[in-house]
Chains A and B, each alone.
Chain A
Amino acid sequence: MASGLPDYYRGVDIAYQALAQVTNRPKYGGALELYGSVVVTANFTTGLAEVSGKGMIYGGLVYLDPTATQASGIPGVIVDGNVIAGITFTRMNKYNVSKSWAYPLYLLSYDDVNFVYSCAASYGITFESSFKLVYNEAEGATPRVYYDFVYALI
């Protein structure tokens, strides 16, 4: 008596390379937004936001209230407890760190006359347990720092 699957049914034989191509992507959930603002402490590093989980950053913005110079300010990203980005606005401007993917945070605007500073996060920063946004203030002021990030969790 016949048994089993019909002859015309064939499972995928990976070793045989039965498929011309395979699309493989991690199962990310929908994009989530993380935004807010913090009046940071002068001459200290202040934590802005933290996500515990596994996922990827799609992009993000950090911008400051134009109240005082923040040329030496440092927006930073800490992934899984490791600092992966943190250079001053001045240095980003001096060396033109203004292209996406050149650095985890890249410069969008730098105007030390009108005190306009902003940077963005590059696409694709993955994290296995957490990511954290911080800001290091080094000019003795207390600016309000805004952040707006988009990310997804696995």
Chain B
Amino acid sequence: MKIELKGVVQYYDNGHKCVDVVVVEDEPYNYKRHRVGVDVKVNPGKIRRFLAAMYDVPPGDIVWPPHIKAKDSDVGTSLAL
């Protein structure tokens, strides 16, 4: 089974940072959203391990497009713009 990452969503709600991922399986080609965790830091390794465990595939089998950056977002915090 081929799993492709389509997006990493980090959002703040009611005092907590929620982290979701959106992936697509090769067949059927449906987009699915999964909750990675709440108040967790985001990094590529964590996302890969989460998806590998969820789909029972080796972490290297997760297709990761280069435009997706899994870095910790500062949502919920004050920004210096």
Contacts and interface: CB of A to CB of B under 8 A. Distances in A.
- Size bracket of the B interface: 20 to 34
Interface in A78-120: 83
A153 B14 contact: no
A37 B13 contact: yes
B12 A53 contact: no
26 contacts: A29-B6, A30-B30, A30-B31, A32-B9, A35-B11, A36-B11, A46-B78, A47-B12, A47-B73, A47-B74, A47-B79, A48-B12, A48-B76, A50-B10, A50-B11, A52-B7, A52-B68, A53-B8, A53-B67, A54-B68, A129-B67, A129-B68, A134-B81, A136-B81, A153-B22, A153-B31
A41 interface: yes
Interface of B: 6-15, 18, 22, 24, 30-31, 33, 65, 67-71, 73-79, 81
Interface of A: 29-30, 32, 34-39, 41, 44-55, 83, 128-130, 132, 134, 136, 153-154
A128 B79 contact: no
A109 to B, nearest CB: 22
A15 B44 CA distance: 44
B18 to A, nearest CB: 7
Q: What are the 6 tightest A-B residue pairs by CB atom distance, in nearest-first order?
A: A53-B7, A36-B13, A29-B31, A49-B11, A44-B78, A47-B75
Contacts of A55: 7
A132 B7 CA distance: 13
A92 to B, nearest CB: 19
Contacts of A38: 12-13, 75-76
Nearest to B70: A52
A49 B17 CA distance: 9
Contacts of A34: 9, 11
Nearest to A86: B81
Nearest to B11: A49
A130 B67 CA distance: 9
